[in-house]
Amino acid sequence: MSHVEPLVLLPGLLCDETVWLHQRAVFGPERETHVAAYGLSDSLGAMAERVLATAPPTFALAGHSMGGRVAVEVVASAPERVSRLALLDTGYAALADGEAGERERAGRQRLLDIARQEGMLAMGRVWAQGMVHPARLDDAAFMEQIHSMIARASVAQFEAQIRALLARPDCSRVLATLRVPALVLCGHDDRWAPLAQHEHMARLIPGSQLVDVADCGHMSTMERPETVTEVLAAWLAA
C-alpha cells in the first residue's frame, strides 16, 4: 500500500477541531489527521512554530481563516515539509494603512471589550452574525455549535490572536513562490474574506485551483461540509 500523507488542519480565530469535524470524519479512517492548537501565541510566526513542532515530517496542510495565514507562515519557514496547501476563507494582505486599518482595529477592539465585560459567549453571539450565510442565522442548532466553540476559548486567547492578526505580514511574495498543489476556496457570500480577495490569491499562486462555494458564508467547512470535503478530497488526490 502506498504511503498516505498525513493531513494537518489549522483552525481560524477562536476556532478548534469543531470546524474540521466533517473533514476528519471522512479523512480520518484513511490518513493521520491533526488539528493544530495555538495556545497563547500572539504572532502568526509563533503559531506556525507550534504547528511545525507537533506536525509529522511531511504533510498536506489546510488552513481556514486565520489558519490560512498561519499555513502560509508554515510554508514560508519550512517549505520542504508541506506537500500541498489549501487556503480556505482567508487573506494575504497586511493590515491596511489609514482609515481602513483603523476601522478594522476599532472593530476588533469593540469585540474584545464585549468579551472582557460580558464574556466570550456574548461576544461570540455578536461576532458570529457576520460569519455565516444570512440564511443560517435562524438555524439554532448550527449557530449553537459556533457559539459554544467560541465560548470554550478564553479572553487571553482572543487578545493574543487579535494581536497576531493586527501585526500580520503581507504574504503575496510567499504565495508567488509556491510550487505545490494549491487550492484556494471561498464561500461565495463570505463577507469577512470576500471572493475577490481569493481570486487575487489564486492568481498569485502558480497553477492553483480556485473554488467558489455557493450559498455559503465565512464558515465554509461547517456551512457546506460535504462540498468542502469533496473539494479537499480531489486536492488530496491531485
| Residue in the block written with cell 490572536 | 161
Question: What is the DSSP code string of the chain?
Answer: -PPPPPEEEE--TT--GGGGHHHHHHHTTTS-EEE---TT--SHHHHHHHHHHHS-SSEEEEEETHHHHHHHHHHHH-GGGEEEEEEES---PPPPSHHHHHHHHHHHHHHHHHHHHH-HHHHHHHHGGGTS-GGGTT-HHHHHHHHHHHHHS-HHHHHHHHHHHHTPPP-HHHHHH--S-EEEEEETT-SSS-HHHHHHHHHHSTT-EEEEESS--S-HHHHSHHHHHHHHHHHHH-
pLDDT on residue 175: 98
6 within 8 A of 82, measured Cβ to Cβ: no
Region 174-202 average pLDDT: 97
* Its pTM surpasses 0.85: yes
Q: What does the buried/exposed string (b/e) look like for 22-55 if buried means 16 or more CB atoms within 10 Å of the residue's CB?
A: bbbebbeeeeebbbbebeebbbbebbbebbbeeb
Does residue 148 have a pLDDT over 70? yes
How deeply is 122 buried, as exposed, middle or buried, from its count of CB atoms within 10 A (0-12, 13-18, 19+)? middle
* Residue spans per domain, the chain: 7-94+169-237, 98-162
The angle subtended at Cα 34 by Cα 169 and Cα 166, nearest 5°, is: 20
The helix-helix angle for 66-77 and 155-166 (nearest 10°) equals 60
Does residue 139 have a pLDDT over 50? yes
Look at residues 58, 61, 57 and name the one whose alpha carbon lies nearest to residue 36.
Answer: 61
pLDDT on residue 146: 98
Give the right CATH number for 7-94+169-237 from 3.30.70.60, 3.40.50.1820, 3.30.565.10, 3.40.50.300: 3.40.50.1820
Region of residue 68 (left: phi > 0; alpha: psi -120 to 50; beta: else): alpha
pLDDT on residue 3: 80
Residues 6+ apart with CB under 8 A from 40: 156, 157, 160
pLDDT on residue 188: 98
pLDDT on residue 132: 97
Span 66-75, pLDDT tens digits = 999 999 999 9
Q: What is the mean pLDDT of the chain?
A: 97
Look at residues 179, 163, 183 and name the one whose alpha carbon lies nearest to residue 43.
Answer: 163
Span 8-17, pLDDT tens digits = 999 999 999 9
pLDDT on residue 1: 36
Does residue 64 have a pLDDT over 60? yes
C-alpha cell at 73: 507562515
Span 4-57, pLDDT tens digits = 999 999 999 999 999 999 999 999 999 999 999 999 999 999 999 999 999 999
Does residue 208 have a pLDDT over 90? yes
pLDDT on residue 2: 53
